[in-house]
């Protein structure tokens, strides 16, 4: 049974940093695409960053230069290093694993994603 378990969320002040982790288990293959998504209260879920099996990354404009996505392939653990956090980064952050198409266009999530984690709350205070 495949599971994605996020950790590392919390509450920090603006300008601070957090590192999220997503531990994957139950996979019999390495997912072609893994990524981080977030959903703020009253807003649609949005793609934050993705990483494909070739190591190609993609970021939302709102986080470019501040967030870094990476992966430990041996452990199939995905990370999101978040620096210079802003109050508008406040959201529940979800880990996703899917086919390569998600990495080509983060909006593909609307059509369904193979696996989602349950999310971890990130709260940034001003």
In three-state form (DSSP H/G/I as H, E/B as E, the rest C), the secondary structure along the chain is CCEEEEECCEEEECCCCEEEEEEEECCCCCCCEEEEEEECCCCCCEEEEEEECCCCEEECCCCCCCEEEEEECCCCEEEEEECCCCHHHCEEEEEEEECCHHHHCHHHHHHCCCEECCCEEEEEEC
Q: What is the pLDDT of residue 49?
A: 98
Q: What is the pLDDT of residue 82?
A: 98
Q: What is the mean pLDDT of residues 47-58?
A: 96
What is the tens place of the pLDDT at every residue in 80-100? Answer: 999 999 999 999 999 999 999
What is the tens place of the pLDDT at every residue in 2-38? Answer: 999 999 999 999 999 999 999 999 998 889 999 999 9
């Amino acid at each position: 049974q495949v599971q994605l378990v996020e950790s590392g969320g919390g509450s920090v002040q603006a300008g601070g940093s957090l590192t999220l982790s997503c531990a994957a288990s139950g996979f019999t293959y390495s997912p072609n695409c893994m990524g981080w998504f977030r959903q703020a209260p009253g807003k649609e879920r949005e793609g934050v960053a993705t990483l494909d099996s070739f190591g190609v990354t993609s970021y939302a404009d709102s986080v470019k230069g501040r967030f870094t996505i990476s992966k430990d392939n041996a452990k199939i653990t995905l990370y999101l290093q978040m620096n210079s956090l802003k109050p508008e980064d406040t959201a529940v952050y979800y880990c996703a694993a899917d086919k390569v198409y998600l990495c080509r266009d983060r909006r593909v999530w609307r059509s369904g994603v193979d696996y989602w984690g349950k999310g971890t709350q990130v709260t940034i205070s001003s």
